[in-house]
Homo-oligomer: A and B are copies of this chain.
Amino acid sequence: MIIILKQDAPEQKVRQFCDELKGMGLEINDSKGSDTHILGLIGDTKAIAESWVLANPVVETCRRVSEPYKKANRKFHPDDTAVDVSGIKLGAGHFAVIAGPCSIESEAQITDVAQRVKAAGASLLRGGAFKPRTSPYSFQGMRGEGLDLLKIARRATGQPIVTEIMNTEHLPLFENVDLIQVGARNMQNFELLKAVGRQKKPVLLKRGLANTLEELVMSAEYIMAEGNENVILCERGIRTFETSMRNTLDLAGVVMLHKMTHLPVVVDPSHACGQAWMVPQLAKAAVAAGADGLMIEVHNDPPKAKCDGAQSLTPDQFDELMAFLKQEIPFFGKELN
């Protein structure tokens, strides 16, 4: 961290501040010119908050030079990480497609969709049991019962299952889930991050609607710092001023995440755009941007879907997309699970 001091900072106060920093185990590279007085901190500055530095009256401004994350940092882990989800790998050249309905609605519905997406080439099955909805009057998901139906579908097809957790208290219900999703609205629910970090199942962490890429990686760091390094990141669209689409899919973010971190990155085009007709083209662009996987909503009867029907592909549309992806993924040098 580089700290730029105020030009008129009293020398004694500067000395006190330096002593405080040294008391934290840091070395200081003190560089005073005619015009600028700069402190370069040497050592582990991860625990030093910029707001604490800026609160000192001798400080003009400061800038972090090394990233505030460590376990997720590509600098300390140059090779791609592959996360294994019950035998399906994502990352380090392995690509997987996660597909299924937004909500689990019945045994017939989830099992039917599971069979169709498996036949088309999806290797993981998604389905929401606990649903975060803007309105308390909207369908809130089948909750525990939904999880049971999802497991029944798994038995039918053998696909590992992915589903969202919304509360630490529900964790015991997720013991048998293959990949636990933390949704966009909970990306900075730090107590939940710690809880999924203390268990062993891999975690799919979605980027919040208005969270920077660094904040996303810091949330992965929360999970990893508790001992669970099996984290998959997911870009699912950010909130901007544009109104013709639900959110703005940030594919450049995928490119940047691969520089920042060694973790696999999955893209969810369905939630990003909110409109089924856009999903196939966005899925193709995500592969070209370097994604390690896709998460796509598929429903057997979208107009009857209890949630997000407008963005769900039909099984037939999904078949068509998968046929293309089976060509495109190897074209971009990855292997489809």
A→B interface (CB under 8 Å): 2, 4, 27, 29, 31, 33-36, 38, 40, 42, 46-47, 49, 51-52, 54-57, 60-61, 63, 65, 68-69, 132-140, 166-169, 185-186, 188-192, 194, 208-210, 212-215, 218, 221-222, 225-226, 237-245, 248-253, 255-256, 259-260, 272-274, 277-278, 281-282, 284-290, 302-303, 305-312, 327-328, 331-332
Instruction: Report chain B residues within 8 Å CB of A2.
Output: 2, 4, 36, 38, 63
Cα(A133)–Cα(B219), bound, Å: 10
Neighbour of A250 across the interface among B63, B194, B242, CB < 8 A: B242
Are A40 and B35 interface neighbours, CB within 8 A? yes
A–B complex contacts, Cβ < 8 Å, 18 sampled: A2-B38, A36-B65, A49-B307, A52-B305, A52-B307, A60-B65, A137-B225, A209-B210, A210-B210, A240-B241, A249-B252, A251-B282, A252-B273, A255-B285, A281-B289, A288-B289, A327-B331, A328-B331
Neighbour of A238 across the interface among B51, B56, B248, CB < 8 A: B248
Are B285 and A289 interface neighbours, CB within 8 A? yes
Chain B residue with Cβ nearest A56: B303
Chain B residue with Cβ nearest A237: B252
- Please give the distance in Å from A56's CB to the nearest CB on chain B: 4
Cα(A191)–Cα(B290), bound, Å: 35
- Please give the distance in Å from A101's CB to the nearest CB on chain B: 12
**Interface pairs A-B: 3 shortest CB-CB:** A55-B309, A210-B210, A29-B33
Most buried by B among A27, A135, A243, A302: A135
Are A218 and B134 interface neighbours, CB within 8 A? yes
Cα(A222)–Cα(B286), bound, Å: 33
Are A51 and B251 interface neighbours, CB within 8 A? no
Chain B residue with Cβ nearest A17: B303
A57-B303, A242-B250, A285-B288 are known; give 14 further A-B pairs, CB within 8 A.
A35-B40, A38-B40, A49-B138, A49-B307, A51-B274, A52-B309, A68-B135, A134-B218, A166-B189, A210-B239, A210-B241, A238-B242, A240-B241, A255-B273
